[in-house]
Structure 1
Amino acid sequence: MIIIKKLSVAYGNQTIFDNISATINPHDRIGLVGNNGAGKSTLLKLISCAVTEPEPEISINNQCRIAYLSQHVVLESERSIIDETCATFHDAYHAHKERIHLEPLVENNPDLLESYSVACDQEREHNFPALKAQAIQMLLGLGFKQADMDRPVANLSGGWRMRIVLAKLLLENADFYLFDEPTNHLDLHTKEWLVQFLKSASFGFMLVCHEKYILNQVCDKILELERGHIQWYPGNYNQYVQQKEAIQEKLEQQYHAQQKEIAHKKTLIDKFRAKASKASFAQSLIKELERMEKIEPPTSTKSVSFSFPITQNSGKVVLKVEEVAHSFGSTPIFKNASFEIQKGQKVALIAPNGMGKSTLFNILAGIYACQKGTVEYGYNVKHALFAQEQSSVLDKNLSVLDNAYNDCPEQSRARVRSTLGAFLFTDQSVHKKVSVLSGGEQNRLGMVKVLLSGANLLLLDEPTNHLDIPSKQVLLTALQSYQGTIVFVCHDHDFINNLADHIIDLTPEQCIMYPGTYQSYQEYTRALNQPIQVQTKATTSAHSLDTNIRTKYPQQKRLVSLERSIAKIEHEMEVVQNSFADIQFGSDLFNTQCNLLKKLKTQHEQLFTEWQELIS
């Protein structure tokens, strides 16, 4: 259990926590939310520090083991990926390395035999092979491949090193975890793995994350930090939003009622202050106002409407890609990438990290040359590119306003300012130099420039990077109202699901384009890969049936015939299911195969029902 009691923290004149208190139970699954600067990371860090440096305001049960993941940790290591991960199991790993070190020396140096024997016993006692298998499974879940295990950590990017840090942390088997943006640098597939891992985990956690989908999936309560205070909300993130809106609405009503009461009393005070007979009445009203506990005006999120005129309409076909392939040196990344994007579509390009998603996107944007195949823009297409790292394309010496206006001279200055305001830039912040902006602020500025460009095709590379949930909602609303065509790469489940109407799934062998939302794509692929459950049931039941019992039935021949027919249909169903991998979604052949699969399932159900009746 973690108990926070009357904690106050301030940086200069800025109050972060104002006498806050909270009790956190070991199995709580807490989403920690609040605006940037509200103190989310600070709170996690203070709790983690209290483990080794006790604070009077934070007490932790001695039996509660706490693990902390900082978003800014830097892993420096000369070990391989698997060795660095296994080093989490300190004693077992040390015994293993000692045994490996001594093994070739023992033959020529008998004096080392005792040390070698001790190392072998300790390695066996700790069951290092089982621990190593756990580490490998964790790394595979986080996106590493079996072939990566012996690669040096020093050769990895910062994002992949963070995955090792996360793997080591999860292998600690702590009682309670403090996660500060653990999904940074993870792709969609790995995030889904982490979601399922956390949902099935026995430990509790406090999680800072800027993705609604993850907070909805894994959290059962929300702790909000606002204006130095904390507020608990039961349920996941969506439930928190609903409760927050209801509270805000009630608070707003109370605030306006109190303001009306204050105005009325001030009117009476002004009216009777000068009259001797009413002076005491006026004074009593003044004292009432002084004693009144003022309700702070609630913070409200304004609904913003967007309109981004397109300078010219494109033709029906906006982008056509045929048989595109790419290699780095002698290593092929992907091949047979073919698809057609039409006017008005909003298309998400997805694939696990390392599959070539960014490479294909850069080919579409003209940043990389097309090695094989063709990429053709349609008639009258004008595209604008949103780069993943805006710091490389913005002028750091200019203000926010000048950066936006200089790239969109055809837009009025008032229009530019209003759009910046819609993207959360205040009247004061539009004059800030780009050099002092945060990563999220730079992304918002870059998106304003893209949307005001007048392009009819937007190519967006990781547009949600560095954005908190409110900023993502503003961006989502803007892009939903955009009338042109969008192709984008993104790792935010909720954002993709609410923006994309088509999904392009890139694999090493081909591209498959699916109409519909990301959720419908997931449901389709899950159904496609789901094994036929009745097959196992029928086969198991049939083989487990004692032969002597079966011979007692006069229907034995029919039973044998049914089992053969069921096995044949199950084989045909498997063939049809496998065929979907090579068929374009929504095509005539696709529909034919769907109908055939449905027919086979009906036949299978009828035969299986008869088989069950006979053996019963």
Structure 2
Amino acid sequence: MIKFDNLSYSFPQKDLYHNISFTLEDGQHCAFIGTSGSGKSTLIHILMDPDKYMFDGKLEISPNCRIGYVSQFYERDDAEDITVAQYIGAEFTKLQNEITSICTEMETSSDIDNLLEKYQQALDAFQAIDGDNFETNMNKQLGLADLGKLENLPVSQLSGGEFKLVQVIKEMLTQPNLIIMDEPDVFLDFENLNSLKNLINSHKGTMLVITHNRYLLNHCFNKIIHLENKLLQEFDGRYIDYNFTLLQKKIELQELAVADTEEIQRNQLIINNLRSLATTHTEAARGKSLKARKKIQERLIARRIQAPFVEIKQPDIHFTIANNLEDAVVLTVKDYSAAFDEILLNDVNFEIKSTDKVALIGPNGTGKTTLLRDIYKNSKDSIEINETIQTAFLSQLQGEMLDETETVLDYFFRLGFQTYDEISSYLSNYTFDESVLHQKIGALSGGEKNILQLAKISAGKADLLLLDEPTSHLDTYSQIALEQAIANYKGSVLMISHDFYTIVNCADYVLIIDDKTIRKMSMRKFRQMIYARHFDKDYLELEQKKKAVETKIELALKNTDFELAKGLSEELEAIIELL
């Protein structure tokens, strides 16, 4: 259906791809992964409108291939005054009215041939979306997404997550040959995420989905495309198997790297001796030997370089506290309420201590962000923040905390950095190279903007981190780095998240919105709640075993115990087969 052949493309300040190739065949559900800013969204835009881009290489698309698209951005526009059914069925209604209009015109027109041609075109388009069964198909999809009761609700009353699902359903029902979705999971709560999984798995057509969501990656796709360091590789199979293949490659390459390092060190001693002799003796043979040894050294070093899909650089995130408060209470919320058109939260009471890591969870549209923003502003009598502490805030509305008209360089100068080299060195720890420093913040990807927010927070000191969907748009490598940073942080965290893995890996307990108030829930009960709805008991136990073995393998690699790592990888393979 789709074939890229030796595609290369560059921005004025950045090379994105170098001779990348891949194919997408009928019926495949393909996950498109890669680090933030690697060019995934740009590649999709090239695919959808190739004439707009000056690229090298070939792009082949099957004739008459219709492409549906779901953007990562929240788009409601002028649809707010119509119902969910009207929004989803807009194309169906348009074609139905067009056919009726043509038939009416035929009754009085003398230009029958032209009208017959228009009628056939409209009829073909109507049949392409299975127009005769459209309403039945729509109700089936709404039911699958657990949105059946919302059919006659105005679109304006949907939560952001519900509207995203409605967008997905609308595209699926037009039955394009290929559906492209760019991070459709961003900001979805647990229930909506499960609905998205059901929609993806029920779809019979071809899909290309950019996602970093580990839940979807583990349950929805039979092909992986991985873009990294200007290169691309494709893998036919599950994401879990792809990750295992990378881990095996990592063990192999690190073992070779240790042997190569020893050989490089031995060769360098020979080079040093030959260079010393060459300065005191002028024989041509000694110069030739030195030159030959240098070439050997170059080959050894080149071979030692790790594969771009194995050694992926993670941001080095570190949060630092301003005060050592031991077991003090840093935040008290008492009798808090929030309302817009209706009451969102009422009679909310909780406190957070100086080292608590807390996840705030609940369905989309229940007031989580409102509460977090009110805490950050600290302007309500119902919110009391310990006067000795410093707070930091990460917003899901990235433009709220970042001036997108500034360059990255100017932004960090304004934060108090003194020199270009200081900024460049600091941001290199967050995977930004020098070319990014001169870009406008608005030109960065969603993941890069979130990493930039994290870099800003890390540059200062704070005792309480208020994080609103911090893993949204982040690639899986950055998600893991953030989880490690939160686990190592000595202060307190209140974090809105719908990412099950992040909550399990970071939180001490959760605060869950229930009936317009908030109650505390232990991690044990949270796990039981999530797994009862989305997984069975065996899956939970296997996931825990898998993570434990992966941790042991990483430790074995750190200690260069490759035999142990190989043995553990066999154990891991057996677990993955059960999963």
Q: Do these two structures clear the TM 0.5 threshold for a shared fold by scoring above it?
A: yes
Q: 5 Å matches for 1:77-96?
A: 77=78, 80=82, 81-89=84-92, 93-94=96-97
**Residues of 2 paired with 1:378 and 1:285: CA distance?**
65
- 1:337 Cα deviation from its structure 2 partner: 3.0
Structure-1 separation of matches of 2:390 and 2:204: 52
Show the counterpart of 2:470: 463
CA contact (8 A) 2:264 2:300 kept: no
Deviation at 1:22, TM superposition (A): 2.9
Residue of 348, 368, 387 corresponding to 2:359: 348
**1:389 matched to 2:397:** yes
Report the CA distance between 1:516 and its aligned residue.
0.6
Asked whether the equivalents of residues 51 and 66 of structure 1 are also in contact (C-alpha less than 8 Å), the reply is no
Partner in structure 1 of residue 170 of structure 2: 168
Preserved contact between residue 334 and residue 507 of structure 1 (Cα < 8 Å): no
Normalised by the length of structure 2, the TM-score is 0.68
Deviation of 1:485 after TM superposition, in Å, equals 1.8
* 1:525 Cα deviation from its structure 2 partner: 6.5
- Give 1:223's aligned residue: 225
Q: Is the CA contact (8 Å cut-off) linking 2:511 and 2:518 kept in structure 1?
A: yes
State the shift of 1:392 in Å: 3.3
Alpha-carbon distance between aligned partners in 2 of 1:503 and 1:38, rounded to the nearest angstrom:
34
Whether the 8 Å CA contact 1:262–1:289 is kept in 2: the answer is yes
CA-CA distance at 1:131 after TM superposition: 2.7
Once residues 318 and 446 of structure 1 are traced to their aligned partners in structure 2, the CA distance between those partners, rounded to angstroms, is: 23
Alpha-carbon distance between aligned partners in 1 of 2:428 and 2:344, rounded to the nearest angstrom: 42
Q: Deviations over 1:127-170 (max 9, x none)?
A: 979633543554576686845735366x9898876554322112
Give the drift of 1:448. 4.0
Deviates more, 1:176-185 or 1:139-148: 139-148
- The residue type equivalent to 1:2 in the other structure is I
Q: Distance in 2 between matches of 1:218 and 1:196?
A: 9
CA deviations 1:299-334 (Å, max 9, x no partner) are 5537958462341416554444444433325x2223
- Gapped runs of 5+ residues in structure 1? 102-122, 529-616
- The 1-side partners of 2:386 and 2:285 are apart by 85
For the structure 1 residues 97 and 262, does the alpha-carbon distance in structure 2 shift closer, same or farther, using more than 3 Å as the test? Answer: farther
Q: Is 2:519 the partner of 1:512? A: yes
- How far residue 200 of structure 1 moved from its aligned partner, in angstroms, is 3.9
Asked whether the equivalents of residues 374 and 380 of structure 2 are also in contact (C-alpha less than 8 Å), the reply is: yes
Superposition deviation, residue 350 in structure 1: 1.4
**Which of 181, 201, 215 does residue 213 from structure 1 map onto?**
215
- Which structure has more relative contact order (CA 8 Å, sep 6+)? It is 2
Corresponding letter in the other structure for 2:4: I
Identity of aligned residues (%): 24
Q: Cα offset for 1:506?
A: 0.9
**How far does the alpha carbon of each residue in 1:198-244 deviate from its partner, in whole angstroms, 9 at most, with x for none?**
23433342221122332222223322223443223455445434433
Matches of 1:385 and 1:355, distance apart in 2: 20
- Given that 1:51 and 1:60 are in contact with CA atoms closer than 8 Å, whether structure 2 keeps it comes out as no
Aligned length: 498
Distance of 1:44 and 1:393 partners within structure 2? 28
The 3-state SS of whatever aligns with 2:366 is coil
| 2:201 partner letter | K
Question: Given the alignment of the two structures, is residue 501 of structure 1 paired with residue 508 of structure 2, yes or no?
Answer: yes
Letter in 2 for 1:202: K
Q: State the SS of the aligned residue for 2:181.
A: strand
Given candidates 268, 275, 300, the residue that maps to 2:283 is: 275
Shift of 1:352: 1.7
Query: In the alignment, what sits opposite 1:297?
Result: 305
Shift of 1:449: 4.3
Rounded to whole Å, the distance in 2 between the matches of 1:158 and 1:97 is 35
What amino acid maps onto 1:69 in structure 2?
V
1:39 aligns with 2:36: no
The alpha carbon displacement at 1:515 in A equals 0.7
- In structure 1, what is the Cα distance between the partners aligned to 2:353 and 2:149? 39
SS at match of 2:175: coil
1:247 has 2:268 as partner: no
Quickly say closer, same or farther: Cα 1:417–1:289, change in 2 above 3 A: closer
Q: TM-score, normalised by structure 1?
A: 0.64
Is 1:5 aligned to 2:5, yes or no? yes
**Equivalent residue for 1:477?**
484
CA gap 1:44/1:265 in 2 versus in 1, 3 angstroms: farther
Separation (CA, whole Å) in 1 of partners of 2:300 and 2:371:
63
* C-alpha separation in 2, matches of 1:73 and 1:457: 29
- Which residues in structure 2 correspond to 1:508-587 (within 5 Å)? 508-516=515-523, 518-523=526-531
Q: Verify the 8 A CA contact 1:38 1:227 in the aligned structure 2.
A: yes
Q: Give runs of aligned pairs for residues 141-220 of structure 1, distance below 5 A.
A: 146=149, 149=152, 151=154, 163-220=165-222
Q: Is the 8 A contact 1:314 1:343 kept in 2?
A: yes
Q: What is the CA–CA distance in structure 1 between the aligned matches of 2:98 and 2:62, rounded to whole Å? A: 31
Change (3 A) 1:140 1:52: farther
Instruction: Judge conservation of contact 1:401–1:430 (CA < 8 Å) in 2.
Output: no
- Return closer, same or farther for 1:93/1:508 CA change in 2, 3 Å cut-off: farther
Partner of 1:183, secondary structure, is: coil
Letter in 1 for 2:495: F
User: Using a 3 Å threshold, how does the CA distance of structure 1 residues 325 and 392 change in structure 2: closer, same or farther?
Assistant: closer
Q: Structure 1's 456 and 96: CA in aligned 2 closer, same or farther, altered over 3 A? A: farther
User: Does the 8 Å contact 2:165/2:196 carry over to 1?
Assistant: no
Structure 2 vs 1, CA of residues 206 and 391 (structure 1 numbering), >3 Å: closer, same or farther? closer
- What CA distance in whole angstroms lies between the structure 1 residues aligned with 2:439 and 2:204? 47
| Contact 2:13–2:435 (CA under 8 A) maintained in structure 1 | no
Distance, in Å, in 2 between the alignment partners of 1:366 and 1:141 is 40
* Secondary structure of 1:399 counterpart: helix
Matched, 1:328 2:340: yes
Q: Distance in 2 between matches of 1:93 and 1:210?
A: 39
Separation of aligned partners in 2, 1:147 and 1:201 = 21
Find the residue that maps to 1:89 and give its secondary structure: helix
Indicate the larger mover: 360-369 or 70-79. 70-79
Letter in 1 for 2:397: E
With 343-352 and 379-388 compared, the bigger mean Cα shift is at 379-388
Contact persistence 1:216–1:236 (CA under 8 A): yes
Q: For residues 300 and 327 of structure 2, what CA distance do their matches in structure 1 show?
A: 65
**1:426-479: CA deviation from partner (whole Å, max 9, x where unpaired):** 578678776776554443343344455543322222223443333333322221
- Structure-2 residue corresponding to 1:27: 27
Q: Does the CA-based 8 Å contact 1:350-1:490 persist in structure 2?
A: yes
Report if the CA contact (8 A) 1:258-1:295 is conserved.
no
Q: Whole-Å Cα distance in 2 between the matches of residues 350 and 151 of structure 1?
A: 26
RMSD (Å) for aligned C-alpha atoms = 5.0
Distance in 1 (alpha carbons) for counterparts of 2:398 and 2:463: 21
Name which of structure 1's ranges 244-253 and 413-422 shifts more when overlaid on structure 2: 413-422
Mapping of 1:69-84 within 5 angstroms? Answer: 69-71=70-72, 76-77=77-78, 80=82, 81-84=84-87
For 1:414 and 1:19, how far apart are their aligned partners in 2?
Answer: 33
- Which among 361, 382, 401 is matched to residue 372 of structure 2? 361
Structure 1 pair 368/350, CA: closer, same or farther in 2 (3 Å)? farther
Work out whether residues 92 and 127 of structure 1, in 8 Å CA contact, stay in contact via their aligned partners in 2. no
299, 308, 314: which one pairs with 2:320? 308
